[in-house]
Structure 1
Amino acid sequence: MMTKRMLIPGLAAACAMLLSACAADDPVARTPAPPPSLEALHAEAQRAAAAGLSERALAVWKNAATAYPADKSPWLAMAQLKYERGQYADTIVHAQEALRRDPLDAQAGRLLAASGLRLSVAAYADLQAQNSLHGATRSEAQELARQLHGSVGDEAAPPAAPAKKPAPVKRATPAKSSAAQTGSADPFGTLK
């Protein structure tokens, strides 16, 4: 016959086994849900951007960039949004990430170039306003401007100022003769 002493440890062991069996992980429950498709993430981000929720759109595109690290499109979308918001330094970072994934992407290249130029122009204007543009900095800025003008071409140059016409020379007016002053019709009247 079983005694109480034997029953309690056996019962405790059985309860422990039952509880541990209930606590076992279900392999189906451990499998993470697949990430939403890239198209679904883009659609969600575009809806957020259209609704004026730029920060939400950026968060969704960042999630898309994490879920699909080889795809350039989330980086390109973030660069475009940052450019539209005037955040040119961030635009450069995102455009460079897109170019890392596709070095020939024209839109990323345009965003990178335009943002870089906008930052350069702003920095140059700040230096001029502070009267700090002299010496080597001025020379380098002028050389870079020449290089930029050469690479962009004449069509991007501002139109040349129209040539100034020389001021007309005013000639002295001849003195009126006394005959003209008197109202005489004889032009030789003053010679008499």
Structure 2
Amino acid sequence: MSQWKSKFIYGMALTCLVSACATTPPPAVDPAAKLDAIVAEADAAQKAGQTDKAVKLLKDATSAFPADKGPWIRLAQIRFDAENYGDAISYALEGLNRDPKDKVANSIVAVGGLRLSTKALNDLRTQNDLNGNVRNEAQGLAKILRESLGETVLVPARPKAVVRPAVPKKGAVAAKPGATPEPSGDGANPFGSLQ
């Protein structure tokens, strides 16, 4: 009887071994397909108004796929659309670290930077603190922008506005003869003196 038990155990072991070899391994998950699924889910969440969920999904994707630019650029676009330009620029720069030629990321950095600069210049202008080195640097940047865009004026002139006479502050640089005074009021062109 012990011989029968040995044969039975040997036969069962052999059967298990053969059947284990016959099973096919589960199909490998394509990483690109998995990333596409996460981005699609984030896009659906964004369209449904669930921005926080979309951002969380994309941030998780940046951890799971650190070499891929896609989630970073999608995060940058979401933040840009929400007018959170600081975060948008930061995420776009991460995308550019992975692909320096990405046009969307470069556009977000450029336009987001201009919008932040416009706000800062408006704030400085309302405080009448745009002078000295800051003013010179702003004028230099405006010149570079005009040359890059092939334009003589960065921001087209608005319809005639009420013009207030320029009263120089003590220690301020006097206006050049024939220079156009800046329009007054809210919403005035922050680049008025830089044209």
Question: With structure 1 as the length reference, what TM-score do the two structures score?
Answer: 0.62
Report if the CA contact (8 A) 2:77-2:88 is conserved: yes
Shift of 1:135: 1.4
- In structure 2, the partner of 1:182 is none
**Once the two structures are superposed, what CA deviation does each residue of 1:121-174 show, in whole Å capped at 9, x if it has no partner?**
110110001111111111111111111111111287445799xxxxxxxxxxxx
CA distance in 1, matches of 2:152, 2:101: 24
1:148 to 129, 133, 145: 145
Report if the CA contact (8 A) 2:61-2:71 is conserved: yes
Give 5+ residue unaligned stretches, structure 2.
Answer: 1-28, 160-195
1:87 to 77, 84, 89: 84
CA distance in 1, matches of 2:152, 2:44: 38
1:125 to 105, 122, 133: 122
Which structure has the larger Rg over C-alpha atoms?
A: 1
Q: Secondary structure at the match of 1:93?
A: helix
Count matched residues.
129
- In structure 1, the partner of 2:66 is 69
CA distance in 1, matches of 2:40, 2:153: 37
- Is 1:104 matched with 2:101? yes
- Is 1:43 matched with 2:44? no
Identity %: 44
Give 5+ residue unaligned stretches, structure 1.
Answer: 1-33, 163-192
Q: Which 4+ residue blocks in structure 1 deviate beyond 3 angstroms?
A: 155-162
CA distance in 1, matches of 2:153, 2:106: 18
CA distance in 2, matches of 1:83, 1:68: 22
Q: Secondary structure at the match of 1:154?
A: coil
Mark the CA change 1:37 to 1:147 in structure 2 (over 3 Å): closer, same or farther. Answer: same
**Once the two structures are superposed, what CA deviation does each residue of 1:92-129 show, in whole Å capped at 9, x if it has no partner?**
00000000000111111011100001001110110001
